[in-house]
Structure 1
Amino acid sequence: MVSRQRKILGTAMEYAAHELKLLDANPVPALKWIAPRKTVQAIDWRRVTNPAQVRELLDAVRVQKRSGPRLVAFFACLYYAGMRPEEAAGLSKHQLALPEEGWGEIHLETARTHAGKYWTDSGKNRDDRQLKQRDRGTIRPVPSPPELTALLHRHIRTFGTAPDGRLFRGERNNDELPKLTILRAWRKARQKALPPELAATDLAASPYDLRHAGISLWLSSGMPPKQVAEWAGRSLEVLFRIYAHVLSGSNDTIRALVEKGLKSTQSDVTEDTSSRA
């Protein structure tokens, strides 16, 4: 961000000096500075929900009048498929590879990022961009567990799609999914689903926390970090930094898996020895 702002300032000063003749020279190149080191913060565990809390939150979204039912599958995508909000906002029907029930797959292609109509090329609040840290046209597959598969089918049957195939849009604004609508629905859901003592904390403070909760569940369940990183659209290095706590806390799960494998191997050896005898 600092480098970008420096570049913008330098361009403005260059214009002022050479085009408008307001300055003798562009002063920015002479400024000495050290680029700040990029840091990736670990997630705040006070914000991460468990599966039961997520289901309560989705139910609280569902019962909201007007926009609520339209947003259940949207929020579910963040948790069950580990999507970023802008990725779910750009989700289209042709990206779904879903059976009638059970596990499916979703092929993410674009991120419909909210920047405000004054800052987009289209003049709309959202612009279609490539996936974060990916080249344009790159596809990232993510899982659709049975719960999400059912919710997506129900959403399409009930609300259909936009003319371009997008799943999620506003009740009145057929062209896009307003960010304010998302935040308002989430705020109401927290107040309804969470006990007062939890609603007053940072637990599930923003919709993005659903993504953190989903990825944390994958890791704590013993899923290989490489697979989690691919689904989450993160590098392994960044994944380890953000979710270091859950990775260190999953040792018990890993030990249990190894122990199960060892017992299975020993059982095979015992059976083989018995058959030879």
Structure 2
Amino acid sequence: MRWIERASLPVAELQEIVRVHGLIDGLGRKLDGKPAATQTYRRRRAVVFNALEYAVELELLPSNPLSRVRRKRGKRPVQEVDRRVVVNPRQARELLAAVTYVGGYERASGRRLRAFFGCLYYAAMRPGEALGLRRSDCTLPAKGWGRIELAETRPTAGKAWTDSGEAHDRRGLKQRAEGEVRIVPIPPPLVRLLREHLKEFGTAKDGRLFASERGYVVAASSYSRVWKQTRELALMPEQVSSVLAFRPYDLRHAGVSQWLNSGVPAPDVAARAGHSVDVLLKIYAKCIDGQEHEMNDRILKSLGEEDDTGK
């Protein structure tokens, strides 16, 4: 702290516009002097902006100097989902069947996670949302559609960064107000998976559906390891070496893409997936693997034309 005090400029000097430009330039560069990523710059700037707001509160500065200078940045690229990672319904079913063979009958590490992966695909849930899912959140009729009321997510944060000392944090839903619930109708295949899971494994002590053998929240490394073995069992060798369903999260991409390609209106898909319509259409509006020809046929029919390839 003494070294920082000696090496740092007095905060009052930030009233000079030249100093502010130097600060902004520093925020936008890595240690080697090369330009930092846009997101890195924005994160740093937000931290420094709040620190300077505190300096204003202490009357060390008359106003926040960062508000006086705007840094021009290139347009932030949209992080679209790579269509190559998205499985079609047949591939999803094969993956969910193959996962039951992982770990064998005794350990049942794959069977214990089958419904977890099913939630990512059939309900387009984020992994943290599925890890926080409780029995009381689920309506699972014997027949027909059920529904899930999502209220909590359990993202991996590390024991050093949670108030509870647990590896998984407890948070509300992403981009939602505290206590807000997202209702997701779930199709019969997922209802069956969840009912079978409850029958075989029950719940953790706190009512969570998915838990490790010792009752803890399933670690990301554990379900990722199971998923890696599942891909090797379910996919062709050339697909295993590709990016197809490379991560469990790619099942969510496949689920959302399937809803869109099935003709479900974008606002309804956005509500189920927990996105804004704008983000949904920019990121998730992708054709799933093997359905490009079907999409082309739809366009041709709308144009009053027929496919002349003979396919």
TM range (shorter): 0.7 to 0.9
* TM-score, length-scaled by structure 1: 0.80
- Asked if structure 2 preserves the Cα contact closer than 8 Å seen for 1:115 and 1:126, the reply is yes
2:164 pairs with one of 112, 116, 122:
122
Look up the equivalent residue of 2:239 and give its one-letter code: L
- Asked if structure 2 preserves the Cα contact closer than 8 Å seen for 1:120 and 1:126, the reply is yes
- Asked if structure 1 preserves the Cα contact closer than 8 Å seen for 2:112 and 2:201, the reply is yes
Structure 2 equivalent of residue 179 of structure 1: 220
Change (3 A) 1:33 1:190: same
Q: In the TM superposition, what is the alpha-carbon distance from 1:121 to its structure 2 partner?
A: 2.0
Are positions 1:209 and 2:250 aligned together? yes
Deviations 1:29-68, CA, capped at 9 Å, x for gaps: 5987446755432211110101111111112211112211
Structure 2 equivalent of residue 4 of structure 1: 43
Structure 1 equivalent of residue 19 of structure 2: none
Are positions 1:80 and 2:122 aligned together? yes
- Asked if structure 2 preserves the Cα contact closer than 8 Å seen for 1:222 and 1:250, the reply is no
Change (3 A) 1:197 1:255: closer
- Asked if structure 1 preserves the Cα contact closer than 8 Å seen for 2:210 and 2:217, the reply is yes
Structure 2 equivalent of residue 131 of structure 1: 173
Are positions 1:42 and 2:84 aligned together? no
- Asked if structure 1 preserves the Cα contact closer than 8 Å seen for 2:257 and 2:285, the reply is no
Compute the RMSD of aligned alpha carbons: 3.3
- Asked if structure 2 preserves the Cα contact closer than 8 Å seen for 1:219 and 1:250, the reply is no
SS at match of 1:229: helix
SS at match of 2:165: coil
Distance in structure 2 (CA, Å) of the matches to 1:13 and 1:168 = 44
Look up the equivalent residue of 2:224 and give its one-letter code: L
Distance in structure 2 (CA, Å) of the matches to 1:221 and 1:14 = 49
**Which moved further from structure 2: 160-169 or 112-121?**
112-121
Look up the equivalent residue of 1:191 and give its one-letter code: E
2:232 pairs with one of 166, 185, 191:
191
SS at match of 2:275: coil
Alignment of 1:55-74 (within 5 A): 55-65=93-103, 66=107, 67-74=109-116
Structure 2 equivalent of residue 112 of structure 1: 154
Change (3 A) 1:242 1:256: same
Distance in structure 2 (CA, Å) of the matches to 1:225 and 1:87 = 21
**Which moved further from structure 2: 58-67 or 177-186?**
58-67
**Higher strand residue share:** 1
Structure 2 unaligned spans of 5+: 1-38, 55-64, 305-311
- Asked if structure 1 preserves the Cα contact closer than 8 Å seen for 2:94 and 2:234, the reply is yes
Alignment of 1:113-262 (within 5 A): 113-172=155-214, 174-246=215-287
SS at match of 2:141: coil
Distance in structure 1 (CA, Å) of the matches to 2:295 and 2:265 = 11
Q: In the TM superposition, what is the alpha-carbon distance from 1:4 to its structure 2 partner?
A: 3.2
- Asked if structure 1 preserves the Cα contact closer than 8 Å seen for 2:257 and 2:286, the reply is no
Structure 1 unaligned spans of 5+: 16-27, 260-277
Are positions 1:98 and 2:140 aligned together? yes
**Which moved further from structure 2: 50-59 or 67-76?**
50-59
Q: In the TM superposition, what is the alpha-carbon distance from 1:223 to its structure 2 partner?
A: 1.1
Look up the equivalent residue of 2:183 and give its one-letter code: P
SS at match of 2:78: coil
* TM-score, length-scaled by structure 2: 0.72
Deviations 1:138-197, CA, capped at 9 Å, x for gaps: 11111211110011011111111111110011113x121111111000000011111101
Distance in structure 1 (CA, Å) of the matches to 2:181 and 2:75 = 30
Paired residues in the alignment total 254
Structure 1 equivalent of residue 92 of structure 2: 54
Distance in structure 1 (CA, Å) of the matches to 2:133 and 2:53 = 41
Q: In the TM superposition, what is the alpha-carbon distance from 1:222 to its structure 2 partner?
A: 1.1
